[in-house]
Homo-oligomer: A and B are copies of this chain.
């Protein structure tokens, strides 16, 4: 157990409970069907980034899955900010807040009124140090990662829509397990969809640079990431870099000038090779560098530097295996 000034608390259906009490009944639909929509955010300098966009995506998922949630988006936002505030004393001074917002339909119908648990829906907001998630990643900003195309394919939207950020994702674990069987470090699963198009990583979006343009897979069989949108709709236009959505094949990645991954916790990382074959000259490229710098400016944080500082004094704990996937 790492040292903490005070104990973290979790917002749980309107109350703050100790983290150890933040648990769900085994009869909950989330545990029965992976029936939960969620978001995971981060702060920069303690301030939540793109919180509203995260919550809008959450609400779209709630609607798609017909979860009878009565909280409004404003109430959710308020609860997140309260949770962050409440956990201020539980974090180290240099921590950033990683917030997880879970919405579950609640108890399966047959258990309602029969077992001793709230019927639902359940709304849970947890807050913990971002440094856990990004531990060991500092050097990847310079060294880059290697993409690996596993045998596991992305499930296409018509079967299980990845645009609804939900918990039915054991196939992501399978992809990570397959990648774990490869030689080399810093590997990352790059999922193809059943048409053979590049989809996404198991938690990250992929972007490539070709002929001076940033190109993203079409927003079809992927989660439409908040970081992806930030790069494509804000940072890149600001830097005068044109952006396209297209069907991308592995060839397009192999012959790209640059490629990178984007995700909320680390923002952006260079992908310098695919299946071991260098992309471009096999080193982080200029577009990546400009985006990382502009992102840092935007949020007032040296993004890689902050992680470097954390890695210099790593938090104790943290496990292994496919659920711990972190570019090692």
Contacts and interface: CB of A to CB of B under 8 A. Distances in A.
A260 interface: no
A104 B276 CA distance: 21
B157 A112 contact: no
Interface size, A (range):
35 or more
A301 B186 CA distance: 48
Interface string A296-328: 000000000000000000011111111111100
Contact of A323 (B108, B174, B218): B108
A156 interface: yes
A170 B278 CA distance: 21
Contacts of A195: 156, 158, 195
A160 B174 CA distance: 9
A288 to B, nearest CB: 20
A163 B66 CA distance: 27
Contacts of A169: 33-34, 168
A258 B53 CA distance: 20
Contacts of A181: 148, 182-184, 275-276
Given A25-B22, A181-B276, A161 B251 contact: yes
Contacts of A112: 317-319, 324
Which of A1, A66, A249, A251 has the largest count of B CB atoms less than 10 A from its CB?
Answer: A251
Given A31-B36, A110-B135, A111-B132, 7 more contacts: A1-B113, A2-B114, A112-B317, A158-B192, A160-B160, A163-B249, A183-B183
5 contacts: A32-B323, A114-B317, A114-B318, A159-B171, A167-B170
Interface of A: 1-2, 10, 18-20, 22-27, 29-36, 60, 63-66, 68, 100, 102, 105, 107-117, 119, 124, 126, 128, 132-133, 135, 148-153, 155-161, 163-164, 166-174, 177-178, 181-184, 192, 194-196, 218, 220, 246-247, 249-251, 254-255, 275-278, 315-326
